[in-house]
Every structure is written in C-alpha cells, then in structure tokens.
C-alpha cells in the first residue's frame, strides 16, 4: 500500500509577530462584537417556524473558520463562517496575562503542532440561527449568529483550553470539555448560561449523551503532549477514565476504568486513554479507540466488559517512533452507520480510512486519506464523511462499497465534522 506522507506544520508564529498584530489591530479590538447574551424580540418564534436545511459543519482548526457543506449528495460547499471575529480582543487579553500567555503558546507548540487552535468542535442551535463553537486557544465557547457573523454570547471555560463538545438529543444543551481543569461544563445552547458542571479524569476529551439525553459520558485521555510515550512511562499520563453522570443533576453515576477491563481482556499492552468512541444505535455496545493503537475495541455496556478487539493494518510508511504521532494518536475518528452494522474508522497516522463490518470486524478497502482526523455519518446515512486534516478537504466514503465517492476542499486543517441545520436560504454571504 503506497500512501501519502504526513505534511509538516506550515508555520510557527512568534510572540513578537503576534504582539505586533495586536498593536496594529488595536483600534478594531475596541469595536469587537459584544460577548454578552443578546436577544431579539420575536426571534425565537421566527426561528421556530423558519424552514431549515440540513448541512454539515467542518471546523478548520488552524484557519479559525468553519465551512458549511451539503450533508449528502455532492457535499458541495455552501458558505464559510469566521469563528474568531473577536480575535484582536482575545489576543490582547492573552498577551496582557502572563499565565494565559504561557498556556496559549503551550497549545500552539503542543497540540497545535506549531499553530493556534481556533476551532475544535461546533453545533447548530435548534432553530438554525447560530453556530456554537469551542475555541481551544481562546479557552472558550461562543455562539456565532449565522445571519450577521457576530457573537451572541461567550462562555470562558475553567482553566486554559476548551476541547470536544456534545449536544443533547433535543438540541438545547451543549457540553464542553475544559481540558486543563478536568471539568465538563454544560451550557444552555441558546443563552450560554451554565446549567451545571462535573469533574472528570485528567484531560477530558470526548463527550456523548446517551439514553435520549439522560446520561452524559466523558472520556479523559490524560497527558498527550509529552515525549514519555514508551509503554514503561505510561503511568506518567495521569488518571484516564470514563465518567458517566446524570445529565440533569450532573451527579456521578459510574466510573469506568478501562485499565482494569483491558487487563481482564488480556490486553495489558494497550493504553487505557480512550479517544473517539461510537455507540451502536441501541447503545448496547461502545466501540472505542485508544492512544498508540492501530485499531479499536468493543465494550459491552450491560456486562461492563471488553468483548472484542480489532487490529487494523499499519502503513509501512508510518514511523514506529511514537513521539512522532500527533497527540499520542495512531487512529483517531470513528462512527457507526444508522443501521448499526458498519463502522467507519479514521486511520489518522496511517493515512487511510476504512469501513468495517461490525459482525465480522472485517475491514474493507483502505481508502487513502491524508491524516484523517474525524469520521461522521452523512445526513442520509449512506456515507461516512472524514476530515483529511493533511489535505484540507473532507471525503465521503460509501458504507455499502467502502469506496470514496466525493471530496470537497475546505479550510486549513479540518478536524471535527458535525451534522447541523441552518436557515433554508442561508448562503453564508453575510457571515463571510
């Protein structure tokens, strides 16, 4: 298998250059969009009755933009949203605070691979009027008005970095991981008001609502930015666990230590840092990826045990030096189709994606992809849509054939891809 090589970081900004940018843009900072919640008389009623269209949001992490593309068909790009309209104001705050500056530069030179991380995750509000975005380098969550491009509200997370989010099935609540404070905040998606929070293991990462929104699962991945990646140093990675809470009271329901379950399954060699996950439609099975592993595992929720493991092919061009793998990833990104019989796996550091039959765990063709970082099911359930962060595009793969059917160019370093809704006549012109 001949696959493309990884693309090195394109730039590494200096403190002096950024400070100079702030000085030049100082006047615009004073005119930055308001960050307090705003309401418009009648807007809720109008939004509730407005016709919506289903789309996909693609977060371009290094650009600070999000592309809006069709959720099926040709996946054509519809428009683009600037998710950092307040960039000058945020940078001014950071450079005036030595502690914030240390973390800001740490994010750039750690998980950012030499780049600032401006968009990690995003969802739409139920009425399709706004995009809610987590911005790691700015340690916050904001709501962007899709008609005007302005900020509706801003929620600074605890600590110094925001990460993965999840939206409740009814679309009214959004959960965000605050990775440096080991906290998950749950917000009202319309107002940005915090409804509650809970503590997690070290470096909370992915969040998933289950049982119709009754429970919220958080996966903590521990420290992924050190060079202590050899198995003998695994103990330095911190407290990694799954925390399950009641999504109304935010009280802890269960803690799942995958180290115990991996050992019982006979895989003491694998890391217990749970990365992306995917539940079956009935939530009876959880499929999950772990750090450093080219494959995934199956966990039976009712019996509370790991039942199967799948090792996927390695790309011979991928270095076996773990310190060269981005944020301890080997494979990062997975989804389950709506029928529950196929998995889609993003083989991040191995530069491919593949469709896996869930019954047999047999993989299909290896679809070449440049550092695929996420996998989402298309709106019609027919395709798996992956983000190719190394090629600045998203690619659709047929669940039926395992073959690539379309690719669409997007912004710099796409990561998360989410199903969303916008007004039926939205074109992105005002937001651009």
**Secondary structure letter of residue 324 according to DSSP:** G
| Average pLDDT, integer, range 9-32 | 35
- Counted residue by residue, the chain has a size of 432
CA distance 375 to 157: 26
pTM above 0.85, yes or no: yes
For residue 30, is pLDDT > 70? no
Q: Mean pLDDT score of the chain, rounded to an integer?
A: 89
Neighbours of 10 (CB within 10 A): 11
| Average pLDDT, integer, range 84-90 | 97
H or E element in which residue 296 lies: strand 295-300
Helix (H, G, I), strand (E, B) or coil at 138: helix
The DSSP result for 186-242, as a single string, is EEETTT--EEEEEE-SSSEEEEEEEGGGTEEEEEE----SSS--SGGGGGGG----E
Q: What is the pLDDT of residues 58-68, one digit of tens each?
A: 999 999 999 99
Helix crossing, 87-95 with 15-24: angle to 10°? Answer: 130
CA distance 401 to 339: 15
> Per mean pLDDT, which range of 26-35, 207-216, 343-352 is the poorest?
26-35
For the ranges 3-7, 50-54, 314-318, the maximum mean pLDDT occurs at 314-318
Instruction: Please say whether the beta carbons of 29 and 133 come within 8 A.
Output: no
For residue 383, is pLDDT > 60? yes
Instruction: Please say whether the beta carbons of 143 and 131 come within 8 A.
Output: yes
Q: What is the pLDDT of residues 180-215, one digit of tens each?
A: 999 999 999 999 999 999 999 999 999 999 999 999
170-193 per-residue burial string, b: 16 or more CB within 10 A, e: under 16: ebebbbbbbbbbbbbbbbebbebe
Helix (H, G, I), strand (E, B) or coil at 95: helix
Q: 309: pLDDT confidence band, cut at 50, 70 and 90?
A: very high
Instruction: Please say whether the beta carbons of 93 and 100 come within 8 A.
Output: yes
> Per mean pLDDT, which range of 95-109, 224-238, 353-367 is the poorest?
224-238
CATH match of 55-423 with 2.130.10.10 = yes
Instruction: Please say whether the beta carbons of 136 and 111 come within 8 A.
Output: yes
For residue 19, is pLDDT > 50? no
CA distance 146 to 151: 9
The domain segmentation of the chain, as residue ranges, is: 55-423
Instruction: Please say whether the beta carbons of 275 and 221 come within 8 A.
Output: yes
Beta strands in 40-110 (DSSP E): 52-60, 65-70, 77-82
Burial of 313 (0-12, 13-18, 19+ CB in 10 A): middle
């Amino acid at each position: 298998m001949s696959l493309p090589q990884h693309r090195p970081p394109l730039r590494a900004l200096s403190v002096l250059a950024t400070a100079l940018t702030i000085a030049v843009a100082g006047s615009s900072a004073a005119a930055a969009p308001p960050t307090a919640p705003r309401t418009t008389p009648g807007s809720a009623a109008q939004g509730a009755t407005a016709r919506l269209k289903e789309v996909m949001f693609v977060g371009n992490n290094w650009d600070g933009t999000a592309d809006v593309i069709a959720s099926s068909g040709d996946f054509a790009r519809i428009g683009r949203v600037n998710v950092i309209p307040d960039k000058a104001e945020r940078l001014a705050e950071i450079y005036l605070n030595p502690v914030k500056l240390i973390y800001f530069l740490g994010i750039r030179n750690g998980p950012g691979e030499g780049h600032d991380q401006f968009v990690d995750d995003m969802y739409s509000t139920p009425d399709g009027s706004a995009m809610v975005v987590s911005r790691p380098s700015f340690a916050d969550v904001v709501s962007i008005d899709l008609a005007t491009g302005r900020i509706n509200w801003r929620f600074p997370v605890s600590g110094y970095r925001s990460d993965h989010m999840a939206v409740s099935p009814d679309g009214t609540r959004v959960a965000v991981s605050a990775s440096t404070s080991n906290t998950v905040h749950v917000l009202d998606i319309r107002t940005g008001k915090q409804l509650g929070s809970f503590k997690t293991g070290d470096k909370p990462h992915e969040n998933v609502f289950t049982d119709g929104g009754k429970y919220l699962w958080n996966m903590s991945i521990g420290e992924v930015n050190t060079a202590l990646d050899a198995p003998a140093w695994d103990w330095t990675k911190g407290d990694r666990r799954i925390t399950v809470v009641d999504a109304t009271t935010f009280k802890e329901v269960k803690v799942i230590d995958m180290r115990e379950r991996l050992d019982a399954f006979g895989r003491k060699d694998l890391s217990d840092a749970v990365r992306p996950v995917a539940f079956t439609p009935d939530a009876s099975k959880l499929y999950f990826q772990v750090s450093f592993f080219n494959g995934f595992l199956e966990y039976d929720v009712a019996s509370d045990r790991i039942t199967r493991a799948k090792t996927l092919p390695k790309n011979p061009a991928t270095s076996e030096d773990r310190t060269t793998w981005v944020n301890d990833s080997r494979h990062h990104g997975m989804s389950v189709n709506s029928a529950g019989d196929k998995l889609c796996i993003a083989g991040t550091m191995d530069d491919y994606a593949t469709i896996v039959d869930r019954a047999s765990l047999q993989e299909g063709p290896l679809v070449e992809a440049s550092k695929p970082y996420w996998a989402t099911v298309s709106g019609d359930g027919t395709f798996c849509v992956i983000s190719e962060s190394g090629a600045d595009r998203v690619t659709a793969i047929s669940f039926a054939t395992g073959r690539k059917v379309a690719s669409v160019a997007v912004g710099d370093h796409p990561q998360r891809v989410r199903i969303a809704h916008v007004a039926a006549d939205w074109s992105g012109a005002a937001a651009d």
